[in-house]
A and B are shown apart, each in its own frame.
With several copies, the nearest count.
Chain A
Amino acid sequence: MKYLHTRITEVTYPARDHALLRFAAAAEDIPAVPGEFVMIRGDWGCHPVLPRAFSLVESGAHGAVLVKAIGPGTQLLESMKVDDELVVFGALGKGYRIDDSGLRPVLVAGGVGVAPLLFLARELAARGQRPLFLYGAGTEHDLPLADEIAEVAELIITTEDGSVGEQGLITAPLQRALQDGADSIVYTCGPNGMLKAVAGVSQSHNTPCQVALEAPMACGMGTCKGCAVPIPDGSFKYVCYDGPVFDAEVIYGAADE
């Protein structure tokens, strides 16, 4: 875990309202596994007061995060320029536990959920695997980094309006993939509704599934107790340090059939 005062070294705009910010890491790198995240804040004065959580898209000598502008914090970040100051705190949390027993990796991304999964796909490629990557969005403008994914994975895109790829939800190609009989493992990240659906499909095929959750965060490291999510036994898990990546059963419960 590091607390870095750093600067933006590169900004690109992989899709409308999205920016990919790259920043200098410390002399030593930020070590991270896919699914781990950083808390980021610019030099913003008094508002907003809290840093914002972003999954690492890559780690090492440079860190990179994908930012989608949806509110005040992400708008400020999305409009930042090379050389602007950035405070980066991380890497935090528990990432994907990469299977090494030979299961076929199926990565399922929705929206900015693509960020940790591109990192994971590259990690798998480095290990000689070519994962299946299912990428869903509302429309063609909401598919940042699709080209980068295609370099390291077999990519299937769905859009709700059919503007690119298959029309419909990402669960359709997921059903097909898990039906084809190969022993698979699902890694997913995206909006809550999608995660639950993906976990459900995986469970119905007895396929292990790891979900990366989001929750509003203040500290990012387990001390504020802000990022609670209720789990089936009535207790809470904390996204920032129990997760953000969880086995799907922990969050949604075991199959009841």
Chain B
Amino acid sequence: MSERLRTSLGPLTLANPFVNASGTYGYGVEYASFVDVARLGGVSVKGISLLPRPGNSPPRTCETSAGMLNSIGLANIGIDVFLAETLPQLRELGVTVIVNTFATSIEDFVELAARFDNETGIAALELNISCPNVHAGGMHFGVSGAAAAEVTGAVRAVTDLPLMVKLSPEAGDIGEVARGVESAGADMISMINTIRGMVIDVDRRRPMLGQKMGGMSGPAIKPLGVRMVYEVFQQVSIPIIGMGGIASLRDALEYLMAGATAVQVGTANYSEPGISLRLADELEAWCSERDLTVTDLVGCAQGD
């Protein structure tokens, strides 16, 4: 891949703009036998918490029109196993590692960040703030600018890693949340996380998922993600990593043109685990036909 695809997100530079999204690519290592994972722009690993988590009661996934719901419940191996076993493998493979992490209290977020800060081989930290804040009545950190800024600021104080905060589309005013995390020291924003939905099994007359609700992802939510990236681009000056429903070059271009400096690919990995590399190659061809770089595209649909 050429210089054309290189994209710079403040303290983080990626060889190409395609990162695989957290929760949809495991820890990346599982794919190494048949995908050249080092060539990916990056891999955002499955969200990591202080303790391992077994996840929610099944069923945990179901399909919706042009999308899916998941209620995995952030099942993960926990930070100890991740640092001891997985991170060394990722370093070995040469993967650009974005560590996605989550907690239900600010103290836990801080503890996680402080521990990751001591490690080598982490390109950036991505805070998933779409979790209920157990110390603040269960409202999730991602719905208000103040709560999001508080957790961002606390983490910023303990790490020099490039810091990415992942926004939820369920915020009443996503621009306000974006401004909040920027002012608290985030280096970049990733967006959007899933939006909660429900499917009812009309034969059983009960919600399809064990947890009743699940996060919606896939092509169905793409217009929402593109709109929000377009809006947030006008309100912050830190770079944005756009995601939600990307499954083709055209989808990725929409996000870049709306204002994203890089993108993440989630659900589409399930049908094609190598899709990000294919899209990177397609983007390379598209750009060189037009003699453009990725940087030229960022936000180019904003003009009128």
Contacts and interface: CB of A to CB of B under 8 A. Distances in A.
Contact of A224 (B24, B54, B59): B24
Given A221-B30, A229-B58, A230-B58, A46 B247 contact: yes
Contacts of B247: 46, 49
B183 interface: no
Contacts of A232: none
Interface in B52-83: 54-55, 57-63, 65-68, 70, 72, 75
Contacts of B54: 235-236
A201 interface: no
Closest A-B pairs by Cβ, 7 of them: A223-B26, A226-B61, A46-B65, A225-B75, A46-B219, A46-B66, A49-B218
Given A46-B219, A49-B219, A226-B72, 11 more contacts: A3-B273, A49-B67, A49-B268, A49-B271, A50-B68, A50-B270, A87-B272, A216-B60, A218-B61, A226-B61, A230-B57
Interface in A148-185: none
Interface residues of B, number: 38
A26 to B, nearest CB: 11
Contacts of A47: 65-66, 219
A216 B65 contact: no
A47 B268 CA distance: 12
Contacts of B46: 223, 225
B33 A217 contact: no
Contact of B58 (A2, A3, A228): A228
Given A46-B66, A49-B66, A49-B270, A225 B57 contact: no
A231 B61 CA distance: 19
B272 A49 contact: no
Chain A contact-residue range equals 20 to 34
Interface of A: 1-3, 39, 41, 46-51, 72-73, 87, 89, 215-230, 235-236
Given A50-B270, A215-B59, A223-B46, A1 B34 contact: yes
Contacts of A215: 58-59
B272 A3 contact: yes
Contacts of A217: 61
A218 B61 CA distance: 7
B274 interface: yes
Interface string B240-260: 000000010000000000000
Nearest to A223: B26
A236 B73 CA distance: 13
Contact of B274 (A3, A216, A223): A3
Contacts of A221: 26, 30
